[in-house]
Amino acid sequence: MVVTGVGVVTGYGLGRKVFWEGVVGGRSAVRAVEWEGWEKAPVQVAAQIVEEGSEKREGWRSLRWARLALREAMEMSGVGRGAGLAGAIGWPGPGEKGEGQDPLEILAKEVGLEGERVESLAACAASTQAIAEAFWMIRGGEVDEMVAGGADGRAHPGGLLGYDRLGALARGFREKPEEACQPFGLGRSGFVVGEGAGFLVLEEKGKAEARGAKILAELRGAAVGCDAWRATDPREDAVEAVACVRASLTDAGVSAAEVDGVVAHGTGTVANDRAEAKMLGEVFGKRSPWVIAPKSRIGHLSMACGAVESVLAVETIAEDFFPSTAGKEWRADPDCSVRMVRGKGEKGVKVVLKPSFGFGGQNGCLVFSQA
């Protein structure tokens, strides 16, 4: 299965070019929250999308970002009307209209996608699982092409305060927003809420080649699973996460030794990072692949995080460059022994793993490679 188009919207702005340049340039999309009366709130930063002028609209913001990312991916690919749609779209925020509507139906009608539709609500693994379902549908011969991804964002007062009540968010950092989220780092204290969307166009390889499509990367395998552990905390022994990642490698026909890089879930919370680091140690042993954790730059996009991070995985393969996402003040945590990319970045990363882990123990993992 190959990827022939990607589209993305993040706190950096609109489009894959802006997204890639932001990450490679070492910039952070995390900013101080400027809401009136918010100065004394415990959570002071978020990776918000800034909408100005004609871009600023009322209504369902997640759906609007999905529309932009979806159209970019389709225009890049040139995919046909018969393609299906798999996605995870965040529900409307405060004051946004959309309750009772099916976001995938709306999107499919707007862009003319007449194929199968699959929706996932599996928390922060939702869009990763949606991409996995699209992949299996194509491989199983049900469809020839699918557009898959997600859009979400909880950067509103209710979202920030809700996550903070769970003890999940980094507090403070108003003067140093770029250092608020430090996945796998010694000073990590929680994640930063982000918002945006990401979509990938997946096609059967032979048919993509026959129509002369530009191939960015190959999606080799996928797996999903569930810890069935606790509502928010991951299993400390990471047993189910290990099983999910190993299943994705088996599905891809790829050995652990062949994996060059991991676009980690890496939330920056103490519990998640420790469990994910344990999982990586169990799967890869002493031969650790390079690891990057983009939530330090773009925040945690909830149901859309896996899709946006999958776009990043595809870009690293297409550009043959694995960029650093560690901040200047990042320091390695002995309890999280991962091989974080530092400095300018790394080249020669040909097989990339994209795991996602969500509330409720939801797991998902994708394996990308050079085509």
pLDDT in tens, 173-205: 999 999 999 999 998 999 999 999 999 999 999
**Alpha-helix residue ranges (DSSP H) falling in the chain:** 16-24, 61-77, 103-111, 126-139, 157-165, 205-210, 239-252, 270-284, 295-298, 305-319
Per-residue confidence (pLDDT) for residue 203, from 0 to 100: 97
Report d(CA 5, CA 37) in Å as an integer.
42
We report the CATH number of the domain holding residue 14 as 3.40.47.10
**Structural domains of the chain, count:** 1
Are 322 and 316 a contacting pair, CB within 8 Å? yes
Per-residue confidence (pLDDT) for residue 53, from 0 to 100: 58
Can you give the length of the chain in residues?
371
What domain range includes position 226? 2-369
Report d(CA 308, CA 15) in Å as an integer.
11
Residue pLDDT, tens place only, 15-69: 999 999 999 999 999 999 999 999 899 999 999 998 765 455 668 999 999 999 9
Per-residue confidence (pLDDT) for residue 269, from 0 to 100: 95
- Other CB atoms within a 10 A radius of the CB of residue 42 amount to 12
- Helix 305-319 to helix 16-24 angle (10° resolution) is 80
Q: What is the dihedral of CA 96, 102, 104, 110, to 10 degrees?
A: -80
Q: Can you list the residues of the chain whose pLDDT is less than 70?
A: 52-58
Per-residue confidence (pLDDT) for residue 228, from 0 to 100: 83
